[in-house]
Structure 1
Amino acid sequence: MSTGSNKPVVVIEDSVISNNVKELKSMAEVITMSPYAGVDKWIIAVKDAVAVIDRKMRLSKEVLDAAPALKLIARTGIGVDETRIDLNEVRRRNIVVTYNPGINSDSVAELTVMLALSIYRKLFILNRYVREAKWAEGQSNLGNQIKGKAWGFIGFGNAGTHVANIVKSFGCSINAYDPYLNKQAIVERGGNPLELDALLRQCDIISIHVPLMDSTKHLIGERELNLMKKDAILINVSRGGIVDDTALYRALKGGKLRGAGLDTLEDEPIHVTNPLLTMDNVIITPHIGGSTHEAVIAGAELAVNEVVRLLKGEKPLSPYKL
């Protein structure tokens, strides 16, 4: 809520780290909010806001309804979907949404490769053995190398191609399914184009790099998991909901997959009773694939700049096509 100044009000998450906030504060009354403060407090905060800089908070219809003056939502990252914003309400009110495609692709790519290597080399199991003084057990629990493995990409945009450029150096073959790219475009990006079912059947490592939308909800379910090789691994660094987590647990429990690396889940934060937490061959990180210091700062500075442009009457640089 405004403190009564005549400046326009901008709400910014407290997790947004930017070197150009000073310029924004010279132009606007800036209200800092925790993304975990709760809907009731956000409703109060956005009452007079013309812009919101959003990183983690989900801007629901309830929150948006409380912000009649809102003109811009500046996302610090690449994600613009229903897990972040009520898109129907945004469209109805013609609220501009900006985002930063590719800003965290390096960070996401590094985590993707790390998860695959950690599963193949049983990194977390071996670390536990050492901490439990089970040195001999650790030495006898051998992993595998990824050299020569077939890597399959579901989605071959910025993040996918960044991963591909890394794992080529490990000697992995690059295979890709992307419904928005034709075969020639995939080839030009260094991939072997395959249909989804063929990709699942043929590849040793499957990593997901597509947004969550109606067409990708449970894209990987029981049928798709049954198509995968018995010793394959699945990496999801995209969005929860693309993988049917219940079906994934059943596949892992039944020994149908080697393992899984998950940075995103259907229900976040994960509940302590989630059965995936009981699996030694599952590594779960708290949705931080794109959240390195470098990526967070770069994305925040671009988001702040979009708000500054709004206040100056300038057009946005990177509007999301709603």
Structure 2
Amino acid sequence: MKLKGIGLTGKALGILGLGAIGKEVARRAVAFKMDVIAHDPYVSREKAERIGVRLVDKDTLFREADFVSIHVKVEPKTLALVGKRELELMKPTAFFINTARGAIVDQKALYRVLKERRIAGAALDVFENEPLKPSDPLLDLDNVVLTPHIAGACYDNYEKASSIVTRGIEDYLKGVRPQHVVNPDVLDKKEDTPSAKTL
């Protein structure tokens, strides 16, 4: 009998980006008794330690982790944040996971390390160009799991998103600042807040 799974207990999870999503991933990994390390220049050591995470520099994260999971947002300074140098620091038994954004990773460099078996494998939900073309060489590899940017697609999430949007509209119409505003500067303008009467 050939076992294909890998146990998580005692393994090191390296989280690149310890924001809201990264913290939730860390909490779950700690519950599996993983050694959780992270790199995030915006998070204090104390905050990380409170959730059972040890902060390290980026190179240490890639060298020590058995699993590297990406959780940073795309902005100019994070474009190709993970490239050939970082990927080649990884253990040959390590796995790379990206459910954040494709532009954060140099996809050609990732393809090379996977093809050359310099790392054990990868799980990717996002790509530099989406959707992934049928001719993309990643599709020919047997050590990668690919999904079409649907990692968060489940009924619960859709229902929650609908409720959040509905509540935001209701709050706005009541003149209350919505909880999840992406561009708050527009609310700070001196224009009158619309009310239900203006609709």
Normalising by structure 1, report the TM-score: 0.54
Q: Secondary structure at the residue paired with 1:241?
A: helix
Q: What is the correspondence of 1:158-177 to structure 2 with a 5 Å cutoff?
A: 158-177=20-39
Which whole-Å CA distance do the structure 2 matches of 1:187 and 1:317 have between them? 28
Q: What is the correspondence of 1:66-145 to structure 2 with a 5 Å cutoff?
A: 139-140=1-2, 142-145=4-7
Which whole-Å CA distance do the structure 1 matches of 2:127 and 2:141 have between them? 15
Matched, 1:267 2:142: no
Normalising by structure 2, report the TM-score: 0.85
Deviation at 1:162, TM superposition (A): 1.9
Q: Secondary structure at the residue paired with 2:93?
A: coil
Matched, 1:155 2:155: no
Q: Secondary structure at the residue paired with 1:283?
A: strand
Structure 2 CA distance for partners of 1:312 and 1:140, relative to 1, 3 Å: closer
Q: Secondary structure at the residue paired with 1:226?
A: helix
Matched, 1:220 2:85: no
Give the paired residue count: 184
The match for 1:247 is 109
Structure 2 CA distance for partners of 1:140 and 1:317, relative to 1, 3 Å: closer
Q: Identity of aligned pairs, percent?
A: 38
Matched, 1:310 2:172: yes
Q: What is the correspondence of 1:174-253 to structure 2 with a 5 Å cutoff?
A: 174-253=36-115
Which whole-Å CA distance do the structure 1 matches of 2:87 and 2:104 have between them? 12
Deviation at 1:263, TM superposition (A): 1.1
Which whole-Å CA distance do the structure 1 matches of 2:135 and 2:143 have between them? 17
For 1:208-260, what per-residue CA distance to the aligned partner results, in whole angstroms no more than 9, with x for missing partners?
A: 11111111111111111111111111100111111111110001011111000
Q: State the one-letter code of the partner of 1:315.
A: R
Deviation at 1:310, TM superposition (A): 3.1
Deviation at 1:170, TM superposition (A): 2.8
Q: Secondary structure at the residue paired with 1:297?
A: helix
Highest RCO, 1 vs 2 (Cα 8 Å, sep ≥ 6): 1
Radius of gyration: which is bigger? 1
Structure 2 CA distance for partners of 1:143 and 1:215, relative to 1, 3 Å: same
Q: Secondary structure at the residue paired with 1:277?
A: helix
> Structure 1: any 5+ residue segments left out of the alignment?
1-138
Q: Secondary structure at the residue paired with 2:15?
A: strand
Which whole-Å CA distance do the structure 2 matches of 1:307 and 1:143 have between them? 45
For 1:91-138, what per-residue CA distance to the aligned partner results, in whole angstroms no more than 9, with x for missing partners?
A: xxxxxxxxxxxxxxxxxxxxxxxxxxxxxxxxxxxxxxxxxxxxxxxx
Q: State the one-letter code of the partner of 1:317.
A: Q
Provide runs of 4+ in structure 1 moved above 6 Å.
none
For 1:264-296, what per-residue CA distance to the aligned partner results, in whole angstroms no more than 9, with x for missing partners?
A: 111111110111111111011121222211111
For residue 294 of structure 1, the aligned residue among 156, 165, 186 is: 156
